[in-house]
Structure 1
Amino acid sequence: MPTTLRMIVDQVIAPVPGALGRYTQALTTSLIDTAPRGCDVEGVVSSSLPSDYELVLERFPGLSGLYKSSLARRELVAAWQFGLTTSPGGGMIHAPSLFAPLRRHAAAGNDQTVVTVHDLLAWTHPESLTPTTVAWNKAMMKRARKHADAIVVPTHALAERLALVADFGDRVRVIGTAPRLGLKLPRDAADRAARFALPGDYLVTAGSLDPRNGVVDLLEALGRADSPDVPLIVLGPENWGEQHLATVAEEAGIARGRVRALELDDPADLATVLSGATAYVAPSHDEGSGTSLIEAFALGVPVIHSDTPAYVEVAAEAGRAVVVGGGAGYAERLAAAVTAVVDDAELADRLSIAGTDRAQAFTWRDSAERVWQLHADL
C-alpha cells in the first residue's frame, strides 16, 4: 500500500481563501507533483457543499482521495482547538497553518502531524486581529507545542521570533515560499493595463491602512515636497476601519487621484500591474515570509523594502532596504529611497537584475520536496 500524506486543504474553499489559500493551493499542487514513488497525497476538508468538494478535486486532480469531515468548518475549528476529535485518523498529516487535529500520539509510531506558522501577529500586533482570532491562535500554538511533531516557518527570522513565544526545540523547520501559481505576464497584458488605466510610471505597494503595514508611512513619504510626483497603486482595500485611503493620502499632502486601491484575485492581473511598476515598495513593520518581495523579484520589478528581518533575509541585498527605526524619520528615509530608484535608471536596472536572480532561489517544487523530506525524517 502507498504511504499517504494527508494535507489539510480546507482553506481553498474558505469564504475568503486569501494568502493562506494561495499557499495551500501552491504547496499542495507541488506535493502531488513531487510525491516520491510509493507515496500519494490525500486532501482533508470540513463538511461542505458538494460543489466545494468538486472545486477541491478540480484544483487538485492528482489527489488520491478526499477525507470529508462530519463537521462544518466553524465546528471543526472549535473541535480541533479543544482536541475533541481525532479525525482524519492517523498517518502523516500536514497542515498549511495551525488549523490541524493536534492530539497526543505515540512518538515511535507512524502518526505524525506537522503545522505551519506564517506570522506571530496574535502576539506582536493583536490589535490587527479580532479577539477571537487572537485567542484561537494562542490556543492552537499551545496545542502545537504539546503535540506537533514539527513546525514549518517560511523564514529563519520568524523561527527566531517563534522561539520567544513557544519553545519547540529542534522541531522547527524553515521551508520558504515562492510566487503564487500563475504569476506570469499574460499575452494580453497591454489590454489588461489599459483596462486598469495604468500610467506610464507608478509605484506599487500592498496592504491595508493598518499601521503595521507601513502604507501610511509610504503615503507620508510621497506627500513630502521633495518626493517624486509618481502615482501609487495600493494592492489592498480602500478602507481600514473608519479610515479611507483617499482621505489619508490627501491628509499626507498627496493630490487627489494620485493614489488608488486595487484588489486583484487573478494572478495575470497582478502580474500585469506589478511588471509595469517603476518600483515595488514594501514598507511593512512586521512580516513573517516576504512572499510579496519574491513575487516582485520574479517579475523583474525593482524592490524597496523595510529592514524588517524577514524582508532582509528574503531579499539578500537584492532590494533597497530602508531602516524602520523606533522613532521619527521613517517616512523621510522611504522618500529618499523612492527618489533614488525613480530618478536613477541605472540603479533601477541593477535592482531589477538582482531581484530576478534572487527569485530563482524560491520555487514551490523545492518547498514541496523539503516537506516530503521532513516527513521522511520524522
Structure 2
Amino acid sequence: MPRVAIDARDAHAPQLRGWGRYTLELVRALRRRAEVELLELKEGGRGPEVAWEQLVLPHILRREGAGLIHAPNCFLPLRRPCPGVVTVHDLAFEEHPEDFAPLTGWKYRTFAPRCARSAERVICVSEHTRRDLCERYGVDSDRTRTIHSAPCLPIGDEPAPSGPYLLAVGDLRRKKNLVRLVRAFARLHREGLEHRLVLAGLDAGEGTAIRAAAGGAPVELTGYVDDSRLDALMRGADLLVYPSLYEGFGLVVVEAMARGCPVAVARATALPEAAGGAAALFDPLDEEEMTASIREVLEDRELRIGMVERGRARAAELSWEKTAEATAAVYRELL
C-alpha cells in the first residue's frame, strides 16, 4: 500500500481529549498493521492552523509522495495532490454554536462542509453522525463509512475515591446538559440519597450555573483530570450519568462499561447507539425522568447486575484493532 499521511497534531496535545485520543489510538493500531506505511504529521508549524492545513500541508504531501491524506479532525486540505479521507466526529458546532468561540465556530462552519463534500471518503464515528452529515451538508452517502471508536483509557490501580458517588464526565458546557443533571441530583439528595455527584471536566462556562443549581447538594467539580484519575473515578462510581444533548458517539459511555460501571444516558443523538442496549435511557430534557432513571438503577440490584454484564459485553465488541482494520479498508478503496 502506498504511503498514507495522517494529520496527527491532536494526538500530541499536552492534554489529550476526544479527537486527539481517537487519532493517537488509530495511529497506534494502524502501525501494528504491516500493510499500512504511515507518515505521521505531528506538528503544524507557526501561524494560523488553517494556513498550515490549506496551504502548507499540500506541499508536504507532494514532497513526501503521499498516496493519500487522512484528516481525523474535519480539516482536510481542499486542494491536494492525492485522495483525501476525513473523519467527522460530530457537528456540534452547527447544533450548539454557543459552545464555541466565534473564530473557532467560524472555522468549523466554513471548512467542515467543504472538506466533507471534497473528500473521496468520509469516516463517521456513528450512524447518527453519518446521517446528520449527509442530511445537513448534502454529502453523497456512497462516499461515507461508519466506523465506531473503542475504549482506550488504560485500566490502572490508582485507588478510587472513598464514599458513594455518581459520576459525569465532560467539559462543563451547555450541550452537556449538566445543570439539569445537578437539579435532578439535588432532588434525590433532598429525598435522602447519600451519594455525592462528581463532575469531571474543564469549566467551559457552565460552572457558575452548576454551583447555583446544586444549592446545598454535594456536587464536586474536579476540573481536568488525567487518565489515571479518570480511570479511578470510573472504577469507583456507582453510576455514570451522561445527560448530553448532542454527541457524535460518546466514548466515555463504553469506557465506563469496560470497568463494570452501570451507565444511564440521554435518549438523544448517538448515545443510544454507543450504549448498544446496555444502558438506562432517559429524556435529557425531562428532569423527572432523569431523576427516576438514576433512582431505579441505584435501588434495583438485579437491574444493576444485568447492566454491568451487558455493559462489559458491549465494550468488548469494540476494539482499536477493528477500527484500524475498517479504516485500512477505506484506504484500500482509494489506493
SS at match of 2:48: helix
CA shift at 1:7, angstroms?
A: 1.4
Change in CA separation of 1:218 and 1:345 when aligned onto 2, cut-off 3 Å: same
For 1:213-362, what aligned pairs fall within 5 Å after superposition? 213-224=176-187, 225-226=190-191, 228-237=193-202, 239-241=203-205, 243-244=206-207, 248-255=210-217, 257-266=218-227, 268-325=228-285, 330-362=286-318
Partner Cα separation in structure 2 for residue 40 and residue 340 of structure 1: 50
Amino acid corresponding to residue 308 of structure 1 in structure 2:
A
1:19 aligns to what?
18
Change in CA separation of 1:299 and 1:148 when aligned onto 2, cut-off 3 Å: same
CA shift at 1:244, angstroms?
A: 3.1
Partner Cα separation in structure 1 for residue 144 and residue 318 of structure 2: 19
Partner Cα separation in structure 1 for residue 114 and residue 192 of structure 2: 49
Partner Cα separation in structure 1 for residue 207 and residue 115 of structure 2: 38
TM-score between the two structures when normalised by the length of structure 1 = 0.80
Partner Cα separation in structure 1 for residue 313 and residue 192 of structure 2: 29
Q: Which has the larger radius of gyration?
A: 1
Cα deviations by residue, 1:89-132 (Å, 9 ceiling, x for unpaired): 24111121123323255xxxxx3210111111221111100111
Gaps in structure 1 of 5+ consecutive residues: 48-70, 106-110
Change in CA separation of 1:250 and 1:359 when aligned onto 2, cut-off 3 Å: same
1:64 aligns to what?
none
CA shift at 1:141, angstroms?
A: 2.0
TM-score between the two structures when normalised by the length of structure 2 = 0.90
2:87 aligns to what?
116
Q: 2:71 aligns with which of 82, 87, 95?
A: 95
CA shift at 1:137, angstroms?
A: 1.1
Change in CA separation of 1:11 and 1:240 when aligned onto 2, cut-off 3 Å: closer
Q: 1:40 aligned to 2:3? A: no
CA shift at 1:313, angstroms?
A: 0.9
CA shift at 1:207, angstroms?
A: 2.3
2:144 aligns to what?
172
CA shift at 1:219, angstroms?
A: 0.2
Cα deviations by residue, 1:335-373 (Å, 9 ceiling, x for unpaired): 111111111222111111110011111111100011100
Q: Does the 8 Å CA contact 1:102/1:147 hold for their aligned counterparts?
A: yes
Cα deviations by residue, 1:195-250 (Å, 9 ceiling, x for unpaired): xxx2331111012332210111110001113372311111112x443x535x7345
Partner Cα separation in structure 1 for residue 117 and residue 300 of structure 2: 53
Q: Which has the higher helix share?
A: 2
Partner Cα separation in structure 1 for residue 119 and residue 192 of structure 2: 49
Partner Cα separation in structure 2 for residue 147 and residue 162 of structure 1: 13
Q: Does the 8 Å CA contact 1:222/1:254 hold for their aligned counterparts?
A: no
Residues 313-322 or 219-228, more deviating:
219-228
Amino acid corresponding to residue 30 of structure 1 in structure 2:
A
2:166 aligns to what?
203
Q: 1:367 aligns with which of 323, 329, 332?
A: 323
SS at match of 1:46: coil
Q: Does the 8 Å CA contact 2:264/2:281 hold for their aligned counterparts?
A: yes
Residues 153-162 or 204-213, more deviating:
204-213
1:154 aligns to what?
125
Amino acid corresponding to residue 157 of structure 1 in structure 2:
H
SS at match of 2:318: coil
CA shift at 1:146, angstroms?
A: 4.3
Gaps in structure 2 of 5+ consecutive residues: none
Cα deviations by residue, 1:309-346 (Å, 9 ceiling, x for unpaired): 30111112100000235xxxx21111111111111222
Partner Cα separation in structure 1 for residue 59 and residue 247 of structure 2: 33
Q: How many residues align?
A: 328
1:78 aligns to what?
51
SS at match of 1:212: helix
Partner Cα separation in structure 1 for residue 294 and residue 192 of structure 2: 8
Partner Cα separation in structure 2 for residue 375 and residue 85 of structure 1: 18
Residues 74-83 or 311-320, more deviating:
74-83
Partner Cα separation in structure 1 for residue 177 and residue 30 of structure 2: 34
Partner Cα separation in structure 2 for residue 299 and residue 311 of structure 1: 18
1:140 aligns to what?
111
Partner Cα separation in structure 2 for residue 340 and residue 207 of structure 1: 23
CA shift at 1:79, angstroms?
A: 4.3
CA shift at 1:16, angstroms?
A: 4.5
Q: Does the 8 Å CA contact 1:117/1:152 hold for their aligned counterparts?
A: yes
Partner Cα separation in structure 2 for residue 173 and residue 335 of structure 1: 37
Identity of matched residues, %:
29
Partner Cα separation in structure 1 for residue 321 and residue 222 of structure 2: 32
Alpha-carbon RMSD:
2.2
SS at match of 2:42: strand
